[in-house]
Structure 1
Amino acid sequence: MQEILAIVRMNKTSATKKALVEAGVAGFTAFKVMGRGKLIDDPAVVAERKDKMMSMAGADEQDAEMLIDGFLDGHRLFPRRLFTILAHDEDVSKIVEAIMSANRTENKVGDGKIIIMPMLDAIRVRTGEAGEDAV
């Protein structure tokens, strides 16, 4: 048994849910979380990201620019969605591929992370089933 944690962009939540269902995942949990990944060192990519975010900003450009700069320099956290999935060992690669397909973008940054961890045990509360049967 494995636990899969997938941290994805908020705007990819529906696509991720759909991909998990299509991959045959029996169930999963999703949380709203905040975080940030590795900072970008390429000034051209940072400028491109800033221009795109500024074009989406509302009326107060000065406040928007301060927030955007905070995101891009690592001082502010981004909203993300964290999916937790319990999986049988043989299903892990199919689930990971489904998550990657649903979340890969051309943005060159920020598409998310997938973490796979071994599980010691799981117990289904309703029936008392344990181990693989509970997944």
Structure 2
Amino acid sequence: MKEIIAVVRMNKVSATKKALIKVGAAGFTALKVMGRGRLVEDKSVIAERRETLLALAQKNDHETEKRITEFLDGTRLFPRRMFTVLAHDEDVPGIVQAIISANKTQYNVGDGKIFVLPVLDAVRVRTKESGDAAI
């Protein structure tokens, strides 16, 4: 039995839910979280992303530029969604692949992170079933 924790972009929540349902995940929980990943050190990627974000913002003011700069230099946390899925060991590769497929973008940064952890036990409150039967 494993716990899969996936941290994904907010605009990928619907795609992630659909992918988890399609792959047959028994159930999942989603939480709003704030955070940031490892900073990108390639200055060309950062410059390109900065220009794209400024163009998307459709504003050319100091506040917008400040927020984008803080986003790219690591001083600002940004919203993400964290999914938690309990799964049978044999289902983990399919679930992980479904999450990757739903969340991979062409941006080369910020697509999220997936963690797979062992689960010692689970108990279904309603029936008191434990172990794999509780999933």
TM-score of the aligned structures, taking structure 1 as reference length: 0.97
Quick one: distance in 2 between partners of 1:40 and 1:89? Answer: 33
Partner in structure 2 of residue 94 of structure 1: 94
**Aligned-pair Cα RMSD in Å:** 1.0
Query: How many residues are aligned here?
Result: 135
Quick one: distance in 2 between partners of 1:61 and 1:110? Answer: 25
SS in 2 for 1:129: coil
CA deviation after TM superposition for structure 1 residue 47, in Å = 0.8
Check conservation: 1:50, 1:68, Cα contact below 8 A.
yes
Q: CA offsets, 1:82-133, max 9 Å, x none? A: 0000000000000000000111111011111000000011011111111100
Structure 1: runs of 5 or more not aligned = none
Partner in structure 2 of residue 57 of structure 1: 57
SS in 2 for 1:67: helix
Check conservation: 1:12, 1:103, Cα contact below 8 A.
yes
Check conservation: 1:54, 1:61, Cα contact below 8 A.
no
CA deviation after TM superposition for structure 1 residue 36, in Å = 0.7
- Match of 1:35, as an amino acid? G
Stretches of 4+ aligned residues off by more than 3 angstroms = none
Partner in structure 2 of residue 111 of structure 1: 111
Quick one: distance in 1 between partners of 2:129 and 2:6? Answer: 26
TM-score of the aligned structures, taking structure 2 as reference length: 0.97
Seq. identity, %: 60
- Match of 2:103, as an amino acid? N
